[in-house]
Amino acid sequence: MYRYAIIGFGGLGKKHLSNLVNLESKRGDIKLCAICGADIKSFKENVKLNLGSVDISNIDFSSCNFYEDYKELIDTEKPDFILSTVPTYLHEEICVYALNHGVHVFSEKPMALSLTDCANMIKASKENHKKLMIGQCLRFDPAYTKLKEYIDNETFGKAYRAEFTRYSQKPAWTWKNWILDPKLSGGCPVDMHIHDVDLINWFFGKPNSLHSAITEKKAELESVFTQMFYDDLLVIANADWSMTQTFPFEARCLVNFETATVILEDGKITVYKDDESFSPNLAENDCFTEEIETLLKLIIDDEATDITSPESVMTSVEIALAEIKSAKEKKEIIL
């Protein structure tokens, strides 16, 4: 039996647990042993994220121990693996502590706030021979997976232009509003926009160069607009998390291939060719379930793939940090 703990029990901690309890009964080889958070009073409360509500009212916590200190949890419980779903400024610290104590780690996106922190996480994983996976969940989304298949297989010829857009109302659920302080979260470019940056990196690799602009009308680093330049490809990526509270979350991607334009929106893909348009059938799993199933394959079955590579996710952080530098210094950055 693999015993796991969740460290950081807010929006994403609860989201993952709601999937994990289903997998516990389906697989029979994993068991929640403990939860750690900074605010024990909020442990049993449901939560509303920009990607929907999470209901944990039916979860049985009778065999789970609760902690407010992650070191005490790791030292006492000695779990086989943890899910670290703490605010981003704590990712590196908790990940390295767990790996150094012989525990496999799943750590939420973005990997960390600096490349030094990302490198420390990878080093601790390698030195301790323990697995590290970062939760770039859209790599597990059926629609984005289909789009990657089109790109890799050149189903409609080569991709030569792509646009990624992501808009959200101001994030309002986080503990002590940590997410709104860019020193703690990286702001919109490193937090929300990293989803698109990671997809761009996963689909096309690191761009040769990029040029970005930001706005800071309502909050620091509230939005980013970037052009990324490749040998034969132009990518435009655009994100803003300062929308009003009634604005519906929106994520959209368009890729122009030689013989088709493909649009991904609301979890659905539409392919527009000259003589027909169609929507392919997609797998039904949601990305968070698929992500955790992949994590279990990595830890329990030792199945590592490119999709779980922390080095690849570190490159996404490098790109997002370059976007901020480009915007602040008002110049193109060569990568």
Ligand X SMILES: NC(=O)c1ccc[n+]([C@@H]2O[C@H](COP(=O)([O-])OP(=O)(O)OC[C@H]3O[C@@H](n4cnc5c(N)ncnc54)[C@H](O)[C@@H]3O)[C@@H](O)[C@H]2O)c1
Kindly tell me which residue out of 21, 23, 38, 263 binds ligand X, with binding defined by CB under 6 A.
Answer: 38
Sign of the alpha-carbon dihedral angle for 49, 55, 59, 65: positive
Kindly tell me which residue out of 125, 128, 168, 174 binds ligand X, with binding defined by CB under 6 A.
Answer: 174
Give whichever of 29 and 45 is closer to ligand X, judged by the CB atom: 45
Q: Which residue's beta carbon is nearest to the bound ligand X?
A: 10
Name residues whose C-beta falls within 8 Å of residue 256's C-beta, 6 or more positions apart in sequence. Answer: 159, 160, 161, 162
Give whichever of 122 and 194 is closer to ligand X, judged by the CB atom: 194
Going by the DSSP 8-state scheme, the letter that residue 271 receives in this structure is E
Answer yes or no whether residue 7 interacts with ligand X by CB under 6 A: yes
Answer yes or no whether residue 190 interacts with ligand X by CB under 6 A: no
Kindly tell me which residue out of 35, 83, 90, 239 binds ligand X, with binding defined by CB under 6 A.
Answer: 90
- For residue 177, give both structure tokens: 């509003």
Kindly tell me which residue out of 5, 6, 9, 122 binds ligand X, with binding defined by CB under 6 A.
Answer: 9
Answer yes or no whether residue 193 interacts with ligand X by CB under 6 A: no
Answer yes or no whether residue 173 interacts with ligand X by CB under 6 A: yes
CB of 204 to ligand X, least distance (A): 21
The set of long-range contacts for 313-316, using a CB threshold of 8 Å and a minimum separation of 24, is 313/109, 313/111, 313/118, 313/134, 313/136, 313/198, 314/111, 314/115, 314/118, 314/119, 314/122, 315/201, 315/206, 316/110, 316/111, 316/136, 316/194, 316/197, 316/198, 316/201
Q: Tell me the C-alpha to C-alpha distance, in Å, between residue 138 and each of 134, 182, 201.
A: 11, 23, 12
CB atoms within 10 A of CB 271: 20
Considering CB under 6 A, how many residues would be counted as binding ligand X? 25
Q: How far apart are CA 159 and CA 215, in angstroms?
A: 29
Kindly tell me which residue out of 4, 5, 6, 12 binds ligand X, with binding defined by CB under 6 A.
Answer: 12
Q: Which of residues 58-77 bind ligand X (CB under 6 A)?
A: 70
Phi-psi region of 105 (alpha: psi -120 to 50; beta: other; left: phi over 0): beta
Kindly tell me which residue out of 5, 16, 30, 37 binds ligand X, with binding defined by CB under 6 A.
Answer: 37
CB of 32 to ligand X, least distance (A): 16
Answer yes or no whether residue 88 interacts with ligand X by CB under 6 A: yes
Contact 4, 33 (CB under 8 A): yes
Name residues whose C-beta falls within 8 Å of residue 246's C-beta, 6 or more positions apart in sequence. Answer: 169
Kindly tell me which residue out of 191, 196, 290, 323 binds ligand X, with binding defined by CB under 6 A.
Answer: 191
Give whichever of 69 and 329 is closer to ligand X, judged by the CB atom: 69
Q: Which of residues 119-158 bind ligand X (CB under 6 A)?
A: 135, 137
Q: How far apart are CA 222 and CA 213, in angstroms?
A: 11
Q: Which stretch binds ligand X (CB under 6 A): 17-25, 34-42, 112-120, 228-236?
A: 34-42
CB of 39 to ligand X, least distance (A): 4
Answer yes or no whether residue 294 interacts with ligand X by CB under 6 A: no
Q: How far apart are CA 54 and CA 17, in angstroms?
A: 10
Residue ranges in contact with ligand X by CB under 6 A: 7-13, 36-39, 70, 85-88, 90, 108-109, 135, 137, 173-175, 191
